[in-house]
Structure 1
Amino acid sequence: MSTIPYTMVFVLLVFEMLIFGLLVIPLPRHWRSALVNFISTSPLIARGIHLLKILFVFVLLLFIDAVNRLQKHQAAPVESGNMYGHDPRLDSSLAAKKFYTQRNMYLTGFTLFLSLILERTFNLVLTSVQQQDEIARLKSHNTSTSTDHDRRMSDIVETHKEELRKLKKEIERKEVDLETLKKQCQQQSEEYFRLADRHNELERQGLPTEKRKDK
C-alpha cells in the first residue's frame, strides 16, 4: 500500500487544524472581520475551496478503502489459522497490516470529520462577524442621528428661549403700562372726587342766596 496518498491526507489534516485554530483563536474584531471577509469574497480562496472539495472526495474513497481493508484483516487471522495453524510471523505481519489500516481509517475519517466541523465553524464565525459589523454600523448611525437630533433640539430650545425672552420683555412692558394706567386712573379718580367735593361745597354756599332772591 502506497503511503503517499495518506501522507497527503496527513498534510491536509494539519492544514485543516491550522485553519480551525486561526478561526477560533481570539483576535481583534477588525482583524477577524478582515480575515473572514477576505476568505468569503476572494476568488482565489473560492478556487482553493473547490480544489479541497475534490480532494475530500478522494479522502472519502481512501476512507472507504481503509474500512474494507480493516474488515478483511479482521477476518484474515481466522482463515489463516484454519489453513496454516498458528504462525507467529504471520500473526505479526497481519497485526502490522491491521494497525496501519486502522491508522489510515482514523486518519481519513478524522480528516473528513474535521472538514465538516471547519465548514460549520467558518459559517458561524462569518455570521457572527456580519452581525457585529451590522451592530457597529447601527451604533454609528444611531450616534450620528443622536448628534443631529441633539443639535436640532438645541436649536429649538434656543429659539424657545429667545421667544420667552421676548415675551418676558413684552409682559414687563405691559406691566409698566398697566401701572401707569393705574396711576392715571387713581389721579383722575382723586381729581374727580376733589371736583365733586368742590362742586358740592359751592352748591351749599350758593343755595341760601338763591332762596333769598326767589322771595
Structure 2
Amino acid sequence: MTLQWTAVAFFLYGEIAVNLIFCIPFISAQRWRKVFSWRIWNWLSPYWNKCFFTMIMVLIVLFLDALREVHKYSGPEPMQDAKVNPNVYDHVHMKLFRAQRNLYISGFSLFLWLIMRRVVTLLNQAAVTLESSAGLQAQMESAVKAAKQNQEDNLRLKQALLDEENSLSAKNQQLKQEVEKLAGQLKTAKEAVNKSDAEVEAMKRQAKGLAHEYDRLLTEHHQLQNLQSSEDKKDQ
C-alpha cells in the first residue's frame, strides 16, 4: 500500500473510532456540547470549513482515481492479456484487488467524513434542544406552580368573600332586629307621649275648670262680704 492510501486507511480508522465514540450511550449531548465549546475548537473554527472541504475534495479525487483503476483493470483488454500469460493474470487481479480496496477505503472515508460532520451537527442541535426543553419544562413547571398558587389564592379570596358575605348577612340581620326593636320602642314611647299629652290636656281642662270654679267662688265670696257689710251698716 502506497503512502497516500496508508494515510487514507488510517484516516478511515480514525473516523470509525470517532464515530464509535460519538455513539457511546452514556455520554450525553450536553457533554459533547461542552467538549465542542472548548477554546481549541473556537481557535480552529476559522480553519474547520476549509479543512472539511479540502478533505472532501481530496477524498473525491482519490475515490475517482480508485474508480478509474477498477475500471482499468476490470476491462476486457487486461483480461485478455491475463489469459495469455498466467503471471500477468495474477498481476492484473492483484491490481484490481488493490484498486477495489482503495475504492472502498476512499468511499467509506468520504462517507464517514460526511457522517461525522452530520453527527456533530446533530449532537449540537440535540444539546440545544434539550437545553431549550429543560428551560421550557422549568417555565412550564413555574407556570403550573403559579397557576396553582393563583387558584389557591382565588379559593382563599372566594372563601374570604363568602365569610364576609355571611358576616355582613348576620350583621344585617342583627341590625334589622335592632331596627325592629327600636321601632317597637319608638312606638311604645310615642304611645306613652300620646298618653302623656292626653293626661296633660285633661289636667289643663281640669285646671281650667278649677280656675273657673275658683273665680266663681271668689265672686260669691265678694258678694257675701258686700252683703255682710251692708247689713252691718243697717244695724248701726
TM-score, structure 2 normalization: 0.64
* Structure 2 residue aligned with 1:212: none
Map 1:26-175; keep pairs closer than 5 Å: 26-27=25-26, 31-36=28-33, 38-39=35-36, 42-44=41-43, 46=45, 47-48=47-48, 50-75=50-75, 76-78=77-79, 80=81, 86-175=84-173
* Structure 1 residue aligned with 2:24: 25
The secondary structure found in structure 1 opposite 2:78 is helix
Query: In 1, are the aligned partners of 2:29 and 2:127 still within 8 Å (CA)?
Result: yes
Query: In 1, are the aligned partners of 2:32 and 2:123 still within 8 Å (CA)?
Result: no
* CA–CA distance in structure 2, aligned partners of residues 152 and 34 of structure 1: 38
Cα-Cα RMSD: 3.4
* Greater RCO (CA < 8 Å, at least 6 residues apart): 1
* CA–CA distance in structure 2, aligned partners of residues 180 and 145 of structure 1: 51
Query: In 2, are the aligned partners of 1:36 and 1:126 still within 8 Å (CA)?
Result: yes
The more displaced of 118-127 and 164-173 is: 118-127
* Structure 1 residue aligned with 2:4: 5
Query: In 1, are the aligned partners of 2:79 and 2:89 still within 8 Å (CA)?
Result: no
Task: State the structure with more CA Rg.
Answer: 2
The secondary structure found in structure 1 opposite 2:13 is helix
Unaligned runs of 5+ in 1: 194-215
Query: In 2, are the aligned partners of 1:66 and 1:102 still within 8 Å (CA)?
Result: yes
> CA separation of 1:128/1:110 partners in 2, compared to 1, >3 Å: closer, same or farther?
same
> CA separation of 1:184/1:174 partners in 2, compared to 1, >3 Å: closer, same or farther?
same
* Structure 1 residue aligned with 2:221: none
Deviation, 1:70, is 1.9
Superimposed CA distance per residue, residues 53-109 of structure 1 (whole angstroms, 9 cap, x where no aligned partner): 32332222221111122222223524525xxx6222221122111111110111101
Query: In 1, are the aligned partners of 2:29 and 2:126 still within 8 Å (CA)?
Result: no
The secondary structure found in structure 2 opposite 1:26 is coil
> CA separation of 1:135/1:17 partners in 2, compared to 1, >3 Å: closer, same or farther?
same
**Letter of the structure 2 residue corresponding to residue 115 of structure 1:** W
Deviation, 1:155, is 3.8
Unaligned runs of 5+ in 2: 192-236
**Letter of the structure 1 residue corresponding to residue 122 of structure 2:** L
**Letter of the structure 2 residue corresponding to residue 99 of structure 1:** F
> CA separation of 1:73/1:40 partners in 2, compared to 1, >3 Å: closer, same or farther?
farther
> CA separation of 1:37/1:50 partners in 2, compared to 1, >3 Å: closer, same or farther?
farther
The more displaced of 123-132 and 10-19 is: 123-132
Query: In 2, are the aligned partners of 1:39 and 1:45 still within 8 Å (CA)?
Result: no
Q: Percent identity?
A: 20
Deviation, 1:171, is 1.7
* CA–CA distance in structure 2, aligned partners of residues 134 and 78 of structure 1: 62
Deviation, 1:48, is 4.9
Query: In 2, are the aligned partners of 1:62 and 1:108 still within 8 Å (CA)?
Result: yes
